[in-house]
């Protein structure tokens, strides 16, 4: 935890004390902080700060059980964890599109889930504005979990174990939607990724060395990519068209939310943390490798009326010219964003 | 003891005492009262009954199977111009649930009020807030989950003039250009100068919501042209909102209460 600052979480500490006071086995709990209660020093201020849902062990563990429980889906076959797998930063390993109940394929690529506290809006089109209400989208989507919120609550309320755990935390019965959503948010808000080799490098910590190729890659990245993939979150949280398509008949992206024609084909700039593991890439998973992504920026960008101005060059050509050397260096740099602490933290794995 | 007999000196003392007690919230609280609000959904001059056929002013036949709306941010303006806002002011009204059609507004400072103001829908802050409970719980059939935000008004039913026989109006949206948040101030009934809130009488304010007014106003809506909104904010929703903002609600009468 060297180099990280513990946020002054009075409320969280109080909640922790309270839990400790009413749980006799509290002293055998591992002493580490509940994931999500520590804010990395090199990140901007969070959007969904810990004070909004103060992390405590019991709530976090409840959220964890719910995240991995297929009871949230209509036929009990699909959990959040089916499409969001820890080993690949909670993206879906090797899948362009993810199957929901009865194998129904969705329409977009499952993104990595990381640093969700800092997301101003969620989903590729920004359709959801708050982490707490995000689960309503997959739960009710017919192609994903195909359930209704009242029915999920009926199932949870029929489980003595869940009733006991919710009541212990929230002090009331029956389990309501706010309790369910806040418990889930406490778990997903804990997916902090801030311990990659790159992070150690920028924070000047032990182990934070980048080799020559990685450093050259970082320089190219800062010059050519960081205007959109900005800050140490590697996204400026805007929606942009990076030149994948000429027309958007199937998925108009941001325009599908705002109904504004000038936003057709705009998608959320994704974070690039752990990007070496989250293939395939883009909102529809069209590219299999990072090499293909870099080829796209170099010579694959296509014209459309909403193409981002940064991908238009003064001479009328499109894209970001990258030499073979620059592409190799960029790839080397992108690999320094892999964060073993997120990928292997046992506290984020399915509960035993 | 009356003020007339008080010397200037004792008046100053009294004032001092009043100031002191104002700092001490346990003692003298300002006098407050309650207002009961009753909503009656109608179609023109007839009460709304689900499943019964009515006609719009333009002559289309409609049968309503569901009529829900959210009223929020209720404010009362006093005769001296001060405005009182109900805290946590969110009320979900469903034609199918009798109990939802009346609610009490509590802790209103006593006085004479000349204006009622409220929002049809939900302010943008709550549309983007975390998980809510009560009227705003997302499991109340009034929430969009993938383009997240509240549905402010739902009217569903059937009409022989609709191309597929159905009416599905789901109006919501808080972003320009499809912002459908509308704030209205229906007039007090003719001849009523003010609404008196007092400690010992609970008046009852009877609001009418006239379904016909969804189809008339700035735009005349014909079922052959507009029988459904998309399940997200859109231009049609804005037309419907402009119509219902112009005349859905009226204060029919006020019982002064016992």
- pLDDT higher than threshold 60 for residue A62: yes
Region for A217 from its dihedrals, namely left if φ exceeds 0, alpha if ψ lies in -120 to 50, beta otherwise: alpha
Q: Give tens-digit pLDDT for B145-176.
A: 989 999 999 999 999 999 999 999 999 999 88
Can you tell me the mean pLDDT for A129-144?
Answer: 97
Can you tell me the mean pLDDT for B114-142?
Answer: 97
* Peptide linkage before A280 cis (omega within 30 of 0): yes
Q: How far is CA A11 from CA A27, A51, B123, B125, in A?
A: 20, 7, 28, 23
pLDDT, residue B252, reads 96
Nearest CA in chain B to A141: B146
B145 → closest Cβ in A132, A137, A260? A137
pLDDT, residue A16, reads 39
User: Under an 8 A CB cutoff, do B139 and A177 touch?
Assistant: yes
Q: Give tens-digit pLDDT for B2-29.
A: 333 333 334 333 343 444 444 444 556 7
DSSP state, residue A139: H
Q: How far is it, in rounded angstroms, from Cα A10 to Cα A32? A: 17
B138 → closest Cβ in A53, A177, A182? A177
Q: Going from the N-terminus, what domains does chain A have, and what CATH number goes with each?
A: 50-192 (1.10.760.10), 197-340 (1.10.760.10)
Q: How far is it, in rounded angstroms, from Cα A165 to Cα A172? A: 11
Q: How far is it, in rounded angstroms, from Cα B216 to Cα B244? A: 8
- pLDDT higher than threshold 60 for residue A7: no
Q: Give tens-digit pLDDT for B37-59.
A: 999 999 999 999 999 999 999 99
* Backbone torsions φ then ψ of B73, nearest 5 degrees: 50, 55
CB A190 within 8 A of CB A55: yes
Instruction: Identify the H or E element spanning B11.
Output: helix B8-22
Q: How many helices (H) does chain A have, and how many strands (E)?
A: 13, 4
Q: How far is it, in rounded angstroms, from Cα A192 to Cα A345? A: 10
Binding residue ranges of A: 80, 83-84, 225, 228-229
Q: How far is it, in rounded angstroms, from Cα B84 to Cα B77? A: 6
Q: How far is it, in rounded angstroms, from Cα B8 to Cα B4? A: 10
pLDDT classification of A216: cutoffs 50, 70, 90: very high
Tokens of A111: 């993104």
CB A73 within 8 A of CB A96: no
Q: How far is it, in rounded angstroms, from Cα A95 to Cα A143? A: 15
Mean pLDDT, all residues of chain A? 92
Can you tell me the mean pLDDT for B251-257?
Answer: 91
Global pTM value: 0.89
DSSP state, residue A300: I
Residue whose tokens read 């346990």: B26
Can you tell me the mean pLDDT for A239-252?
Answer: 97
Q: How far is it, in rounded angstroms, from Cα B111 to Cα B195? A: 8
Tokens of A54: 């103060």
Q: Give tens-digit pLDDT for B181-214.
A: 999 999 999 999 999 999 999 999 999 999 999 9
User: Under an 8 A CB cutoff, do A123 and B132 touch?
Assistant: no
Residue whose tokens read 């399915």: A350
End-to-end CA distance of chain A, in Å?
Answer: 26
Work out the minimum CA distance from A268 to partner chain B, whole angstroms: 14
- pLDDT higher than threshold 50 for residue A317: yes
Residue whose tokens read 């006799």: A24
CB proximity A177 to B under 8 Å = yes
Cβ atoms within 10 Å of B202's Cβ, excluding its own:
17
Tokens of A1: 């935890």
Which of B216, B222, B211 lies closest to B153, judged by CA?
B211
Task: Provide, as residue numbers in chain A, all residues whose Cβ is less than 8 Å from the Cβ of B128.
Answer: 129-130
pLDDT, residue B28, reads 67
Taking only Cα atoms into account, the Rg of chain B, rounded to an integer number of angstroms, comes to 22
Binding residue ranges of A for heme c: 80, 83-84, 225, 228-229
Q: Give the orientation angle of helix A324-335 with respect to helix A212-224, to 10 degrees.
A: 100
| Cα A121 to chain centroid, rounded | 11
Tokens of A244: 């994948």
Q: How far is it, in rounded angstroms, from Cα A342 to Cα A249? A: 37
Which of B70, B74, B54 lies closest to B62, judged by CA?
B54
Q: Give tens-digit pLDDT for A88-116.
A: 999 999 999 999 999 999 999 999 999 99
Q: How far is CA B204 from CA B37, B118, B199, B258, in A?
A: 6, 17, 14, 10
Which of B50, B37, B92, B38 lies closest to B211, judged by CA?
B50
């Amino acid at each position: 935890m060297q180099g990280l600052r513990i946020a002054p979480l009075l409320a969280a500490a109080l909640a922790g004390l309270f839990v400790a006071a009413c749980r006799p086995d509290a002293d055998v709990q591992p002493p580490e902080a509940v994931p999500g209660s520590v804010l990395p020093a090199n990140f901007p201020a969070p959007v969904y700060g810990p004070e909004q849902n103060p992390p405590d062990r019991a709530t976090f563990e409840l959220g964890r059980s719910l995240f991995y429980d297929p009871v949230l889906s209509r036929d009990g076959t699909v959990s959040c964890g089916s499409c969001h797998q820890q080993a690949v930063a909670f993206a879906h390993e090797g899948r362009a599109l993810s199957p929901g109940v009865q194998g129904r394929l969705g329409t977009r690529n499952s993104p990595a889930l990381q640093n969700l506290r800092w997301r101003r809006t969620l989903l590729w089109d920004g359709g959801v504005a708050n982490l707490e209400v995000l689960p309503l989208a997959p739960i009710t989507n017919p192609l994903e979990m195909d359930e209704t919120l009242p029915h999920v609550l009926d199932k949870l309320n029929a489980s003595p174990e869940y009733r006991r755990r919710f009541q212990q935390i929230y002090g009331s019965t029956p389990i309501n939607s706010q309790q369910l959503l806040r418990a889930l948010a406490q778990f997903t808000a804990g997916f902090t990724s801030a311990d990659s080799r790159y992070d150690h490098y920028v924070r000047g910590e032990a182990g934070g060395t980048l080799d020559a190729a990685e450093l050259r890659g970082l320089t190219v990245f800062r010059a050519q990519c960081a205007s959109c993939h900005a800050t140490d979150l590697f996204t400026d949280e805007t929606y942009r068209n990076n030149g994948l398509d000429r027309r958007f008949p199937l998925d108009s992206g941001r325009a599908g939310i705002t109904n504004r024609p000038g936003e057709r084909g705009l998608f959320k700039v994704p974070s690039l943390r752990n990007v070496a593991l989250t293939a395939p890439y883009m909102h529809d998973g069209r590219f299999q490798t990072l090499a293909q992504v870099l080829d796209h920026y170099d010579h694959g960008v296509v014209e459309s009326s909403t193409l981002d101005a940064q991908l238009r060059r003064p001479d009328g050509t499109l894209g970001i010219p990258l030499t073979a050397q620059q592409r190799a260096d960029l790839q080397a740099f992108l690999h320094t964003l892999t964060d073993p602490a997120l990928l292997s933290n046992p506290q984020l794995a399915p509960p035993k | 003891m009356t003020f007339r007999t008080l010397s200037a000196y004792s008046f100053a003392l009294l004032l001092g005492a009043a100031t002191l007690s104002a700092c001490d919230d346990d003692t003298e609280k300002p006098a407050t009262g309650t207002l009961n609000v009753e909503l009656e959904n109608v179609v023109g001059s007839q009460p709304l009954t689900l499943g019964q056929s009515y006609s719009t002013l333009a002559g289309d036949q409609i049968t309503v199977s569901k009529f829900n709306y959210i009223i929020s941010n209720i404010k009362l303006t006093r005769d001296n111009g001060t405005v009182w806002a109900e805290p946590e002011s969110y009320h979900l009204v469903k034609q199918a649930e009798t109990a939802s059609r009346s609610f009490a507004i509590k802790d209103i400072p006593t006085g004479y009020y000349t204006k009622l103001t409220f929002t049809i829908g939900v302010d943008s802050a709550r549309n983007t807030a975390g998980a809510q409970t009560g009227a705003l719980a997302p499991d109340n059939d009034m929430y969009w989950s993938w383009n997240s935000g509240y549905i402010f008004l739902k009217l569903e039913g059937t009409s022989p003039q609709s191309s597929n026989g159905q009416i599905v109006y789901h109006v919501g949206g808080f972003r320009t250009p499809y912002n459908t948040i509308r704030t209205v101030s229906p007039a007090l009934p003719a001849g009523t100068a003010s609404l008196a809130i007092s400690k010992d009488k609970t008046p009852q304010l009877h609001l009418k919501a006239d379904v016909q007014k969804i189809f008339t106003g700035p735009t005349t809506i014909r079922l052959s042209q507009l029988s459904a909104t998309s399940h997200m904010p859109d231009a049609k929703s804005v037309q419907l909102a402009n119509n219902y903002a112009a005349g859905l609600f009226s204060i029919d009468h006020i019982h002064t209460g016992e």
